[in-house]
Amino acid sequence: MGRKLTVNGAVHDVDVAGDTPLLWVLRDTLGLTGTKYGCGIMACGACTVLVDGAATRTCALPLDAIGEQQQVTTIEGLAGTSRDPVQKAWAELSVAQCGYCQSGMIMSVVALLAEHPDPSDAQIAAGVTNLCRCGTYQQVRRAIRRAAEATRDA
Amino acid sequence: MRDASARLTRRAFLRGAAVLSFGLATAPRLLRAGAAATPFTPSALLSIETDDTVRIVMPHADLGSGIYTGLAQVLAEELDADWERVVTVHLDSLHDDLKHPQWGVIATGASTSVASQWQNLRETGASARAMLVAAAADAWGVSPASLVTRDSTITDPASGRQARYGELTAAAARRTPPAAVTLKDRSQFTLIGRSLPRLDRHTKSDGSAVFGIDVQLPELRHAAIAHAPAFGGKLASYDGDAARAMPDVEAVVAIPTGVAVVARSWWQAKRALETLDIRWEDGAFAHKSSADLWREYETLAASDGPSFEQRGTLDFDAASAVVEGEMRFPFLAHAPMEPLNATARVDGERCEIWAGTQFQGIDVANLAAATGIAAEHITIHTQWLGGSFGRRAAPHADFLVEAAQVAQTSGLPHPVKLLWQREDDVRGGLYRPMALHRWKIGLDGDGRPAHWRHRVVCASISKGTPFESAFYVDGFDRLSIEGLIHTHYAGSNVDFQLHTPTHPVSVCWLRGEADTHTAPVVEGIVNRLARRAGADPFAYRRALLGDEPGTARTRGVLDALEHAANWAEPPPDGIFRGMAVHTSFGSVCGFVVELARRDQTLAFHKVTAAFDCGVVINPDAVRAQVASSVAFALSMALGQEITIEQGRAVQGNFNDYPVATLAQVPDVDVHLVDTGLDHPTGVGEVPVSPFLPALAAAVEAATGREVDRWPLRLDGYTIANV
């Protein structure tokens, strides 16, 4: 029953039922707990990862929907503390409060900035629909701007 | 202008809470001492390591507001610690040093963490500093008073000698703590008052912060649970044979609150749970709906109830005019982003728990009662909390007790992580109570309240919990009326009454607490009375508040807010404004909300806040709390409500219990106001409540329709941001 799954550049053999959501494969099978469970209906975005660079919610996405050639990137696969421009901006502005939604938020922003290096307010609003119950959105917007500037200046 | 008798003097919010101690006898753990490379551990709160690390055990849970950083700033300030070497750690013992200084039990709540620890942490830091200094003075043969401390270094200015704190741990550990310490004057602060970056900023930006749901242990098992769908219902019977036959399923157990499946992965436990054939026995409440509850509340509101505040004589015939109104508030679920969970290992006589919780000291008593294991054999390892807003301060420790019962009943030697589904949380009760306010106010010739009758209908949060005696004051649950009782706006004839209905829908504190309904009511009334009198809402409030000392901070915030929002300038065409100010958790916060109306769309034009929370430990962290509170409040305004049909919660997830999105939430221009208080007061919950009436006033100005229920019914209007 095993199949291959590429996560953060590493190829894993996973032996779980193909209808298992990718989120739970990442968390319970591969031990990558940075990606979070929030709702189970892909409504909140806490489970967001990149699949071939596209922000993708995974809590109800069956493993079978991911091709063996596709590249999954989780929060653990970004460059690491303070090196990725989005993570760096997040830390500099102390965006996180409880922090639980922020992995998914950051992955959405990485995808947003890849598509729109200088996003408009409307593009930010359309591209970042992750829910944050603490309500960090003002700092999120600031951090997106800072990360965009850092990326352009780099 | 108010004739306040001694009985009506505003009480400290939690004065009665000292009885929370719960009679819990826990043996303090012995602090490590004696070894050569020993750290200096003058308190369970603080350890200074030989490598200069300053380790501060957090006596409160950080629900997200950043108190770990703030509490560390307070202690490190008096210690003169090197901020770069300060680390915070979660508590995992119940040592006396970690108890809430006012409540006498380890717990977090009511926006008290920094305010309550202010003196304690400063004294802990100052005392440790004095012991380090004394150790250096002894070694160098000089007077302690001649030595200077900074950044974890002691300097003798006369000789130029220096020593790091880490070099002095053994010597300091041998000293007796000073009988008294002198604390710094505010002018000497170097850490308090600075917007230092949060200490958790990296681990919460790279996915490495471990929340309760992330706990990994050898041989960890996972559990999912089914609860009775109707409030007041219980398990009748179940057939778990099919589930037990599924691969990786290790146990199917019934516990008092439901049926759980334990498996090798949570997804498999959830799938197996769905195969269970469960019969629930609905209680009598299964015939009830929200409409039934509102009818009961309306009936109560139509008649007199017991008075919690009464003075003078109501005489509406003597009034120049009489106004009446009502406002209603729904049940609200906390819905923290991290679904409730706890990991329990129960083997024989011991119970270990890993969880994000606000209530360690109270949880232990609940766990002991539920498992039969002695409290001193129960350990709680605190983890990061993925939000709480009061939900992880569960009076009966529901999710922790369930985890322990599942682990215990299954008989497995392994740790079991019980994770609720989102629907278990949203449908599971412990809601902000639904509330109905109805008032009748007779006005004097100036349009000010002279005769005020007010009825609140609201279920009690504390009744039947360990907190009943703490929160019941003179026969009334303060958790139902805080924010209304002793309002400075009321005139000389007052009769405020509380009806306390009961129902099986459990209720609990939620960020902002009773003020989430009393502030929209009281401030909404005042805004309407000002409008009716043709008065400016700032001027009208000042007239009601008078110049008594008890209103000085409110007046200070009003002045700052009026200036910051440029209120004196009339708004441009198409911009509609509202304001409100409210005192809660010892702090005063006011908002001006400006909405731009285009056709049927209301867009945030500007939101301005003024906030007096006493001494500000970390200004950026406080500003972030104000801005994020607006998001939290906006969720309440725009769509959140739990309704009941057939005794069950209708809503279950974020698709029908919406959280305000980035696109909806405005930026907030926050102004911190110093009215001279010499200590910090509450922060995290305070701004939620005043935003609601300020928004309502702007909506009323823009639409011409009065707000009488939450969430807002906008009659064809929509609120948008971008």
Tens digits of residue pLDDT in B59-111: 999 999 999 999 999 999 999 999 999 999 999 889 999 999 989 999 999 88
Q: Give strand ranges (E) for A31-130.
A: 48-51, 54-57, 71-73
Q: Which two tokens stand for residue B663?
A: 């696109």
Place of tokens 């959280």: B659
Span B599-618, average pLDDT = 97
**pLDDT one-digit tens code per residue, B471-499:** 999 999 999 999 999 999 999 999 999 99
Give the pLDDT mean for A116-126: 96
ipTM of the complex: 0.97
Quote the mean pLDDT of chain B.
93
Q: List pLDDT tens digits, range B651-688.
A: 999 999 999 999 999 999 999 999 999 999 999 999 99
pLDDT for position B670? 98
Smallest CA–CA distance from A86 into chain B, residue:
B205
Token representation of residue B496: 């405020």
pLDDT digits (tens, 9 = 90+) for B359-372: 999 999 999 999 99
Q: Where are the domains of chain B?
A: 31-188, 212-283+340-419, 292-318+430-720
- Is the pLDDT confidence value at B344 over 70? yes
Q: For the domain bounded by B212-283+340-419, which CATH number is listed?
A: 3.30.365.10
The contacts of residue B521 (CB under 8 Å, 6+ apart) are B327, B437, B439, B484
| Residue B299 pLDDT | 98
pLDDT at residue A1 in the model: 56
Q: Which residue has the tokens 């189970």?
A: A40
> Quick one: average pLDDT of B554-578?
97
pLDDT, one tens digit per residue, over B206-246 is: 999 999 999 999 999 999 999 999 999 999 999 999 999 99
User: Nearest CA to B64 among A33, A146, A102, A77?
Assistant: A102
Residue B144 has a CB neighbour count (10 Å cut-off) of 16
pLDDT for B526 beyond 70? yes
Q: Which residues on chain B are in Cβ contact (under 8 Å) with A41?
A: 422, 653-655
Residue B277 has pLDDT above 50, yes or no: yes
User: Hey, are the CB atoms on B216 and A33 less than 8 Å from each other?
Assistant: yes
Q: Name the closest residue on chain A to residue B661, using Cα atoms.
A: A131
Better-predicted residue by pLDDT, B11 or B427: B427
CATH number for B31-188: choose from 3.40.50.300, 2.40.50.140, 3.40.50.970, 3.30.365.10. 3.30.365.10
CB contact under 8 A, A35 and B624: no
> Nearest 5°: phi and psi at A145?
-60, -45
Comparing CB atoms, the residue among A20, A38, A41 nearest residue B655 is A41
pLDDT band at B638 (very low <50, low <70, confident <90, very high): very high
Give the pLDDT of residue B339: 98
Residue pLDDT, tens place only, B567-597 = 999 999 999 999 999 999 999 999 999 999 9
Tell me the three-class secondary structure of B517-557, residue by residue.
Answer: HHHHHHHHHHHHHHHHCCCCHHHHHHHHHCCCHHHHHHHHH
C-alpha distances (whole Å) from A18 to each of A21, A60, B404, B580 are 8, 12, 32, 54
Average pLDDT of the residues in B592-616? 96
Question: How sure is the predictor about A120, in pLDDT bands with cuts at 50, 70 and 90?
Answer: very high
pLDDT at position B424, please? 98
pLDDT at residue A109 is higher than 80: yes
Question: What per-residue confidence (pLDDT) applies to B10?
Answer: 29
Residues of B in contact with A99 (CB under 8 A): 64, 200, 203-205, 209, 211, 384, 386
Asked if B205 and A97 come within 8 Å (Cβ–Cβ), the reply is no
Average pLDDT, chain A: 95
pLDDT band at B379 (very low <50, low <70, confident <90, very high): very high
CA distance B144 to chain A (A): 39
pLDDT at A80: 60
Nearest chain B Cα distance for residue A72, angstroms: 15
**Which of B219, B220, B662 is the best mutation test for A, with the most CBs of A within 10 A?**
B662
B464: left (phi over 0), alpha (psi -120 to 50) or beta: left
CB-based contact B207 A35, cutoff 8 Å: yes
Q: For the residues B619-638, what does the mean pLDDT come to?
A: 98
Q: Calculate what percentage of chain B has a pLDDT beyond 70.
A: 95
Return the structure tokens found at B553. 């901070």
| 3 state SS of B512 | coil
Q: What is the spatial distance between Cα B72 and Cα B88, in angstroms, rounded to a whole number?
A: 7
Beta bridge partners of A48: A57
CATH dotted code for B292-318+430-720: 3.30.365.10
Q: Between B552-564 and B537-545, two packed helices, what is the crossing angle to 10 degrees?
A: 170
Contact indicator for B474, B569 with CB cutoff of 8 Å: no
Residues A102 and A90 sit within 8 Å (Cβ to Cβ)? yes
Q: Is the pLDDT of residue B611 over 70?
A: yes
Each residue's pLDDT tens digit, B21-46: 333 333 333 333 444 578 999 999 99
Strand B601-612 and strand B587-598: the pairing is antiparallel
Share of chain A above pLDDT 90, in %: 92
Average pLDDT over every residue of A24-50: 98
Reply yes or no on whether the pLDDT at B345 is more than 90: yes
Domains of chain A: 3-77 (3.10.20.30), 85-153 (1.10.150.120)
Burial class of residue A106 in the structure, from the number of CB atoms within 10 Å of its CB (0-12 exposed, 13-18 middle, 19+ buried) = buried
CA B165/CA B154 separation, integer angstroms = 7
Q: What is the pLDDT of residue A151?
A: 86
With CA atoms as reference, report the closest residue to B110 among B718, B681, B691, B699. Answer: B681
Identical fold between B31-188 and B292-318+430-720? yes
CA dihedral A87, B383, B197, A140 (to 10 degrees): 40
Would the CB atoms of A131 and B663 count as touching at under 8 Å? no
**B226: phi then psi, degrees, rounded to nearest 5:** -115, 130
